[in-house]
A and B are shown apart, each in its own frame.
Chain A
């Protein structure tokens, strides 16, 4: 079974600063995808960014980017220029063949002025 580790239960960052949220995973499947989702206090799950295991470049999506280190099985989410609205839970979710996602326990990010 896959194991996903998000070692930071809580993170604080000042507005306009960058923050990195860690995620490591354990999979034996050479073909997998890695998703990050945001869950604000309202409860909905919002897709942020995706990285495929065979992608040559780190994924980027606006202010979100992934620091993908395949050999270390690490896919850290970098949020640049943090905004107050970024305060939320962030979940890393790898998926073998990406038809079943396994979610980590999440990191709670709080952005302060």
Chain B
């Protein structure tokens, strides 16, 4: 069972470039999330989705966009990359609201130079 997969594992971007971080889950979870983790810090929520076609902003959405066209996929788009977006990005999914743990992907380490 693959769980939550993320690609790529590592990426270096130049300032102003764009990219899409891919996230796929095979657990038929309705809820999906994108977090970023800066060095020495906890995770901060960027965007989340409660089902296909429904997305909402989290704590730090500026500079990012998301879409949710299927239950399985929740890509995160970075437009005009900036050094402040250097971070580790985690995708997660959960069965729903309530006492359901979030299952995390392995993360994508992004450096913007």
What are the residues of chain A within 8 A of B59 when measuring CB–CB? Answer: 102
Chain A neighbourhood of B40, CB < 8 A: 105
If the complex has contacts A45-B90, A52-B99, A99-B97, are A104 and B104 also in contact, measured as CB distance less than 8 A?
Answer: no
- The verdict on A103 contacting chain B, using a C-beta distance below 8 Å, is yes
Chain B residues whose CB sits within 8 angstroms of the CB of A104 once the complex forms = 42
**Do the beta carbons of B106 and A98 come within 8 Å of each other?**
no
Chain B 48-91, CB within 8 Å of chain A: the 1/0 string?
A: 10100000001100000000000000000000000000001010
**Chain A window 39-53, contacts with chain B (Cβ cutoff 8 Å), 1 for yes, 0 for no:** 000011101001010
B41 in contact with A105 (CB, 8 Å): yes
The answer to whether A35 and B101 have CB atoms under 8 Å apart is yes
Q: C-beta contact mask, A90-104 vs B, less than 8 Å → 1, else 0?
A: 010100011111111
Contact indicator A105/B50 (Cβ below 8 Å): no
Interface bin, chain B = 20 to 34
Query: Is A44's CB under 8 angstroms from B104's CB?
Result: yes
Complex Cα–Cα for A91 and B104 (A)? 14
Cα of A105 to Cα of B40 in the assembled complex, Å? 8
By a beta-carbon cutoff of 8 Å, the part of chain A in contact with chain B is 4, 33, 35, 43-45, 47, 50, 52, 91, 93, 97-106
With A50-B99, A104-B42, A105-B41 known, 10 other A-B pairs at CB within 8 A are: A43-B88, A43-B107, A47-B102, A47-B103, A98-B98, A98-B100, A99-B50, A99-B94, A99-B96, A103-B43
A-B contact pairs, 19 of them (CB 8 A): A33-B99, A43-B88, A43-B106, A43-B107, A44-B106, A45-B43, A45-B102, A47-B101, A91-B43, A98-B99, A98-B100, A99-B31, A99-B96, A99-B97, A100-B45, A101-B43, A101-B45, A104-B42, A105-B42
